[in-house]
Amino acid sequence: MTIHIDLENPKGIALLEYLRSLDYVTIDSEYEIPESHKAEAMEAKAEYDINPSQGKTIKETIEAIKKAK
């Protein structure tokens, strides 16, 4: 699977940093965003129209980002 993240956009960079911080084991499992990532996640929500606080899987979040483009 390939996704395009705009690295010219600071929120895109924050999203990429967040995704890189995830343990590979969580990719196909439920994952709650830790408090340390809440601010970046809320900015990504505004940019990509996703709601990370709902506890979506990473796969669902990636699909939401792809649909938003």
What are the pLDDT digits (tens) for 2-13? 677 888 888 888
Query: Residue 5 domain-assigned?
Result: no
Domain residues for the domain of 57 are 10-68
Distance CA(51)–CA(33), nearest Å, equals: 11
Instruction: List the structure tokens of 45.
Output: 């929500």
pLDDT at 13: 84
Query: Residue 40 domain-assigned?
Result: yes
Considering its fold, how many domains does the chain have in total? 1
Q: Report the length, in residues, of the chain.
A: 69
Query: Residue 51 domain-assigned?
Result: yes
What are the pLDDT digits (tens) for 26-69? 454 555 667 777 777 777 777 776 555 556 677 777 787 888 76
Query: Residue 23 domain-assigned?
Result: yes
pLDDT at 50: 59
Residue 50: Cβ within 10 Å count: 21
- Global pTM? 0.32
Query: Residue 2 domain-assigned?
Result: no
Query: Residue 1 domain-assigned?
Result: no
Torsion of the alpha carbons at 17, 10, 31 and 34, rounded to the nearest 10: 90
